[in-house]
Amino acid sequence: MSDAPIGIFDSGYGGLTVARAVLDQLPHESIAYLGDTARAPYGPRPIGQARAYALECLDRLVAHGVKALVIACNTASAAVLHDARERYDVPVVEVIRPAVRRAVRATRNARVGVISTRGTHQSGAYIDAFAAAPDLQVASVPCPRFVEFVEAGITAGPELIECARAYLEPLQRDQIDTLVLGCTHYPLLTGVISYVMGDGVTLVSSAEETAKDVYRVLADGDMLRDDALPPPGHSFTTTGDTDEFRKLSRRFLGLGPEFDHVFRNNFHHVGVEAGAS
């Protein structure tokens, strides 16, 4: 048993959907979240720079005393997973492989699609992860505007539906039956994606599958927090604008103002190195 928090890192806001899934599946656990919003997005950056930024943030979470690390960023997962597992003495969970494992189990016709940001698409991280299942046909499509819609608070409407149809049409042509939401922003667009793809396509949320992996890792390591302990405490930290982070955090976590008391004084700003941005 361990009373230490679960450390969750993302380059920005999308990892908050992972935090939401962890809160749902592990309600007795504490969370320490760090979003490197001052230097987001990582996708367009050289991989060496993304790796350095990610390890700097993960170092901070480890110094905070977390019992497990969650890399809730697709770009960072591809860049630093191997290094992180060698660097830290705590378990490290990422967002790519849990979703891939679920998609392999879910598909019925061996045709799987992946939607992601342009950076994740170009990295080939999901295609590489599916290499262990060579009998599958995997199609990857970048959907960069989806992030813009989510961060603007737009999850419905004709413009979004038209955009989704344009992005997803190649996957419909490929007759996929399983679709991986390969960006942690995308669970907030499950409604429109399901509407366009139809009920016959199973959606796999990287956030939900990552939270399941966190549960498994903690249970296997006898690190689950005792239910008899007082209610957990959470901390949310950003390297960028705290007001913007607070606003978007409420949207991503799905919490109304009645939950303000839970997070009051928990939104902090931490600086980044001079010239790092």
Do residues 45 and 73 touch, judged by C-beta distance below 8 A?
no
- Element containing residue 210 per DSSP (H, E): helix 206-220
Q: Which of 57, 73, 143, 163 is catalytic?
A: 73
Angstrom distance (rounded) from CA 41 to CA 249: 17
- Element containing residue 123 per DSSP (H, E): helix 118-123
Angle at 117 between CA 256 and CA 68, to 5 degrees: 60
Q: Which of 57, 143, 163, 183 is catalytic?
A: 183
- Element containing residue 8 per DSSP (H, E): strand 6-10
DSSP 8-state class, residue 259: G
The dihedrals phi and psi of 237, each to the nearest 5 degrees, come to -125, 145
Residues whose CB falls within 8 Å of the CB of residue 117, separated by 6 or more in sequence, listed in order: 41, 43, 74, 75, 142, 143, 144, 147, 183
Query: 73 catalytic, yes or no?
Result: yes
User: Could you list the active site residues?
Assistant: 73, 183
